[in-house]
Structure 1
Amino acid sequence: MGISDLHIRVATTNDSDQVHNLLNTLAQWMKDTKINQWSFLLEGEDDELKEWISNGLTYIVEKDEAFIATFTLLPEAGEWDQHIWGDDLPANTSYLHRLAISPAFMRKGIGQKVIEWLSTREIDRVRLDCVAENEKLNRFYENNGFELKGITDDHCKYEKIMNRGESI
């Protein structure tokens, strides 16, 4: 499956329920499988996600018009990013949050294709964090060109310098 098989678009408020449901489904799955990631999503309303969607920062990934994944890409450090990264906040850096893939499409290269898509954006680097004990997720980011930059509050900090303008 190539990136051309996927359609990535900005989520609208009409997509909010689908995005919220996928994130909650994955948060519950992770809780059930003893992965400490996103458990806060199960505690109720997600005002941050609502804000991200209304500001055009959350994306939908579709294949054959079916919703298969979502992610948020902040054009500058949010409050959590500032906590994790401290004063090290270079210009033209985007922050990837909540990359979530529908269980039916896991292990099909969707995450890798999203990262390839990010390299086509006009940004110099992408940063993210994930729970340090989530070995599978840490390995995924390392295998996709992200460099471990340290650990803050039990969260691994990853960064990838983007090769802008390369065709995929």
Structure 2
Amino acid sequence: MASSSYCTRRAIPSDAQWILETTARVQAALIASGSLQELAKPSLDEVHTSIVNEDVFIFQDVMNNTSLGAVTASLFCPEAGHGSLDWGVGSSEKTWYLHSMMLEPAYQGQGMGVLFLKEALSLLRAKEGAGMVVLDCWAGNGKLKSFYERVGFVLHGEFPEEGYRIAVFVLKLDSETGHNG
């Protein structure tokens, strides 16, 4: 896979419907695999608001002009449903909550997700500077947990949720070197 064939960019309003359709496809694939992982089910208006706020990144096949993935990085704000105070993160520095990460099912398992997430984090760091990125996933999804560790996230802890446990990961962004600390 040549990385020059793919790029990560900020979402634009015309991406909103594709994001909703892809959310449904990826969620169906997760359910079919037996995963308890749940993607947020935003409304079209919520997706548009996130796009206008420049919170959404799109992973694109440049040669075919095809969108392959999306991820949202919102300010960590438990009151708005972006994270939880129970996790004990996000109080001392600028913190973003990474959520709704998805890649078209046909493109999963080929290393594209790692490339996409690293590029999205680089764009976030370039615009926002240093800080911390927090995400969560179903604790029973070993494959996804390993994926986040390959990108550079560190397991912060596991926390009870309604009938299952979630794993919370953190990554520090360094504005000068571009690396996690």
The TM-score with structure 2 as length reference comes to 0.77
Residue ranges of structure 2 left out of the alignment (5+ in a row): none
Aligned pair in 2 of structure 1 residues 119, 136: CA closer, same or farther (>3 Å)? Answer: same
Alignment counterpart, residue 156 of structure 1, candidates 155, 167, 178? 167
Shift of 1:166: 3.9
1: CA distance, partners of 2:39 / 2:59:
23
* 2:134 counterpart SS class: strand
Matches within 5 A, 1:59-98: 59-64=57-62, 65-78=65-78, 79-83=80-84, 85-86=86-87, 88-89=89-90, 90-98=92-100
Letter in 2 for 1:148: L
Shift of 1:110: 1.8
Identity across the alignment (%): 23
- Deviations 1:68-121, CA, capped at 9 Å, x for gaps: 111001133353334265553132222211111112221222221123221451
Aligned pair in 2 of structure 1 residues 52, 8: CA closer, same or farther (>3 Å)? Answer: same
Residue 18 (structure 1) aligns with: 18
Letter in 2 for 1:11: A
- Deviations 1:30-62, CA, capped at 9 Å, x for gaps: 112211112663xx8466434322322111111
Tell me if structure 1 keeps the 8 A contact 2:71–2:98. Answer: yes
Residue ranges of structure 1 left out of the alignment (5+ in a row): none
Aligned pair in 2 of structure 1 residues 3, 164: CA closer, same or farther (>3 Å)? Answer: farther
Matches within 5 A, 1:34-113: 34-38=34-38, 41=41, 45=43, 48-64=46-62, 65-78=65-78, 79-83=80-84, 85-86=86-87, 88-89=89-90, 90-113=92-115
Q: RMSD between aligned alpha carbons?
A: 2.6
Tell me if structure 2 keeps the 8 A contact 1:130–1:157. Answer: yes
Matches within 5 A, 1:110-121: 110-117=112-119, 118-119=121-122, 121=125
1: CA distance, partners of 2:101 / 2:34:
19
Residue 29 (structure 1) aligns with: 29
